[in-house]
Structure 1
Amino acid sequence: MKKNKQFSGWGPTAQQPQQHYLVEPRHLAGGGDLRYVTEYLRASGWKDKSKTGGPVVFDSPDKSVRIGYDPYTQPGGWTISGKATATQEAWHATFSRQTPVEIVAGFTDALFTARLAHAPNVWEPLQQHGWETERGQHFTARSPDGDAVVRFHQDAPGQAHWWAGARNEHGRVWEATLTPTTPMHLVQAFSTALADPQPVMRPLGRVPPSQRIRTTSVSVLPHQLSAWQQARITAARAAAWGKNAFASNKARPQAPGARPYAKAGRMR
């Protein structure tokens, strides 16, 4: 199903508009532009360790997390690994090549946000958008169209992992696997991005050949694309600044005589 839409009123109209498509559901939109993820990392101060002609590799400033993208191996795709710390076990996540970058970014962007006070709930964002959940040998959530699944897969005690994937009429499109030690706020951020009903944009020629998707044709001016990209970069810098400021305040010694924080049980 295709519709036409024209963006207007964003500055001068002398630039030549480019044809793009808004694609939904996003889990069937195809991989997208890697820069949606990598430019956010770069703007957040991550070190680009990539070599010319080789895989994409980024290390976090503290070298505790590495993010890579390898299109040259099978099955290839994204690999994200966190080192063990005093409070966190080592963890590992993989996303195959056709995982939409907006969904991968939901996971990676969460590396820059402070953890919420309440316990993360992976299933809540899915249920809020009509995903059906079922308990069996594995706990499973399925998208309203039936084409995407999130599952906590447990073969035996001590042998478990998170698995997600999507398929269309041609077969499986992408899959993701996360170790059970993956921080839960990251898993929830992934499920939130996956369940988001907002369409994602793909340029002409990059829309998957599937009858399961809905597309809206849009004419986009080059400076509009630049503005949207810059807004994301600005958000990355703000998130990085906020995280660094939080870490600095946390590490700062408390002044003599200062009142300690109230215990959680006494907070009002």
Structure 2
Amino acid sequence: MRKKQWQGWGPGEQPEQHYLIEPRALAGGGDIRHVSAFLRASGWRDKSKRNGPLIMESPDRAVLLSYDPHVLPGGWTVRSAARGDQAEWWAVLGRQTPVEIVAGLTDALTRPRSAHAPDVWAPLEEQHWRTRPEGRNYTATSPDGMAWMHFCQDPHGDAVWWSGAKDQQGNGWTAQFSPSTPMHFMQAFSAALASPEPVMRPCGRVPRSGQIRTTSVSVLPSQLIAWQHARIATARAATWARNWNANRPRTTPRAHAGGARTRR
């Protein structure tokens, strides 16, 4: 285990021990507020009931997100109603899916769709995942063999996306996406899954796994709060910009009141 000390501690604060974990796919679930606080700052409504599961609804009421750890198998569910040419779709992610990977999908729900054609496999290939076709199916596996992304298609043409991670002790998670899940959401998920950036967990929340690498760091409470606020501020700024663009008055060029005079 490596140790690292953050600089710039403030007066009167006591540092707390945290751990940076690699690979992120095996870091465990984490704090669900990483997902929910960003959505709330993006204008989503929190419809959770006291002591009940987390339930959040998109501003247009088309998408519903829930997290329930008290049922089996428990975890995250995203459901979207049909809109225009887009059929209804769903995604189910296990309870131990790292929140940073869940956020890859849920953060994308708050952003406009890119004009570029999505490529689910590109983020994985950029991080040197092994990709291989298997008949009608296609599979990508992380370099360490612990995480995967599958595209499966049966003889009838019905398809499903399946992803997950598992260590040699059997700890892990799986995620499944409906055939109609928009590809730009799938790409956002695969980018978060393949990211080489470690994720942070507090002392006592580090999974017991022989396949993870940990770096001990001393972090001030004010630093944790500042990082959380920066993420929320990003969501609020993007939401304000979208609302301003949607509601600002539309003007059209008008010809000069006197018109153009023709010289004779």
* TM value normalised by structure 1: 0.91
Residue 39 of structure 2 contacts residue 110 of structure 2 at CA under 8 Å; is this kept in 1?
A: no
1:228 corresponds to 2:227 = yes
CA displacement at 1:117 relative to structure 2: 1.4
Query: Could you tell me how far apart the structure 2 residues matched to 1:189 and 1:246 are?
Result: 24
- Could you say which residue in structure 1 is the equivalent of 2:90? 92
Q: Secondary structure at the match of 1:112?
A: coil
For each residue in 1:111-170, what CA deviation from the matched residue of structure 2 results, as whole angstroms up to 9, or x when unmatched? 122222110000000000010100013100000000000011112333111100100012
Residue 66 of structure 1 contacts residue 82 of structure 1 at CA under 8 Å; is this kept in 2?
A: yes
- Could you say which residue in structure 2 is the equivalent of 1:58? 56
Aligned mate of 1:119, from 117, 120, 125: 117
CA displacement at 1:257 relative to structure 2: 7.4
State the Cα RMSD in Å: 1.6
1:78 corresponds to 2:82 = no
For each residue in 1:179-208, what CA deviation from the matched residue of structure 2 results, as whole angstroms up to 9, or x when unmatched? 111111110000000000000000000000
16-25 or 231-240, which deviates more: 231-240
Query: Could you tell me how far apart the structure 1 residues matched to 2:43 and 2:209 are?
Result: 38
Query: Could you tell me how far apart the structure 2 residues matched to 1:187 and 1:165 are?
Result: 13
Residue 114 of structure 1 contacts residue 243 of structure 1 at CA under 8 Å; is this kept in 2?
A: no
Query: Could you tell me how far apart the structure 2 residues matched to 1:226 and 1:191 are?
Result: 28
Aligned length, in residue pairs: 254
Amino acid across the alignment from 1:24: E
Alignment of 1:1-268 (within 5 A): 2-10=1-9, 12-137=10-135, 138-248=137-247, 255=252
Residue 13 and residue 83 in structure 1: after superposition, are their counterparts in 2 closer, same or farther (change >3 A)? same
Sequence identity of aligned pairs in percent? Answer: 56
Amino acid across the alignment from 2:43: G
Residue 127 and residue 98 in structure 1: after superposition, are their counterparts in 2 closer, same or farther (change >3 A)? same
Residue 113 of structure 1 contacts residue 243 of structure 1 at CA under 8 Å; is this kept in 2?
A: no
Query: Could you tell me how far apart the structure 2 residues matched to 1:92 and 1:169 are?
Result: 29
CA displacement at 1:255 relative to structure 2: 3.2
CA displacement at 1:36 relative to structure 2: 0.4
For each residue in 1:27-70, what CA deviation from the matched residue of structure 2 results, as whole angstroms up to 9, or x when unmatched? 00000000000111111111111011111100011101000001
Query: Could you tell me how far apart the structure 2 residues matched to 1:85 and 1:145 are?
Result: 39
Residue 165 of structure 1 contacts residue 172 of structure 1 at CA under 8 Å; is this kept in 2?
A: no
CA displacement at 1:256 relative to structure 2: 7.2
